[in-house]
């Protein structure tokens, strides 16, 4: 399926645009067949080209409130974080149950003090998550 150069008769690969030997623009051996089914445009006589319609989803995301996110995380801890960040809430619940709870049991209750930093992290996380989401939706 090689195509021959019209100037120097060198063999070039079928997809080559220019001759490897002399640089002449190569004539396509097989001319792309124009779609005969395409109806000519009545205005300029050219066949209609299929237009690709790109559908852009413009779903307006309601922006959440950082205040509400902070208050919910303040009162309900990781459960309140579900409002702002589901993944964050799940991670904090896992930390609380898998890390802090065993420590608390092991230290006969003293480990409960770890819930305080965990709770603070949850509030900050919730507010930051809403901030990030609002920044993205503004763009």
Q: Which residues bind Zn ion (CB under 5 A)?
A: 5, 7-8, 10, 19, 21-22, 24
Nearer to Zn ion, 5 or 126 (CB): 5
Angle at 68 between CA 66 and CA 70, to 5 degrees: 65
Nearer to Zn ion, 24 or 65 (CB): 24
Shortest separation between residue 4's beta carbon and Zn ion, angstroms: 9
Token pair in block for residue 2 = 């090689």
Nearer to Zn ion, 28 or 132 (CB): 28
| Alpha carbon distances (Å) from 124 to 6, 21, 133, 134 | 72, 67, 14, 15
Shortest separation between residue 39's beta carbon and Zn ion, angstroms: 40
Shortest separation between residue 21's beta carbon and Zn ion, angstroms: 4
Q: What is the H or E stretch that residue 3 is in?
A: strand 3-4
Shortest separation between residue 57's beta carbon and Zn ion, angstroms: 50
Q: Residue 131, exposed/middle/buried by CB under 10 A (0-12, 13-18, 19+)?
A: middle
Nearer to Zn ion, 19 or 123 (CB): 19
């Amino acid at each position: 399926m090689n195509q021959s150069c019209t100037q120097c008769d060198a063999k070039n690969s079928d997809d080559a645009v220019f001759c490897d030997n002399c640089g002449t623009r190569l004539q396509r051996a097989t001319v792309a067949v124009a779609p005969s089914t395409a109806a000519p445009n009545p205005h300029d006589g050219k066949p209609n080209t299929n237009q690709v319609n790109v559908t852009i989803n413009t779903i307006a995301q309601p922006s959440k409130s950082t205040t509400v996110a902070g208050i919910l995380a303040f009162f309900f801890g990781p459960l309140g974080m579900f409002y702002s960040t589901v993944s964050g809430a799940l991670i904090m619940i896992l930390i609380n149950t898998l890390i802090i709870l065993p420590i608390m049991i092991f230290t006969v209750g003293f480990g409960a003090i770890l819930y305080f930093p965990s709770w603070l992290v949850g509030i900050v996380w919730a507010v930051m998550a809403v901030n990030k989401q609002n920044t993205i939706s503004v763009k």
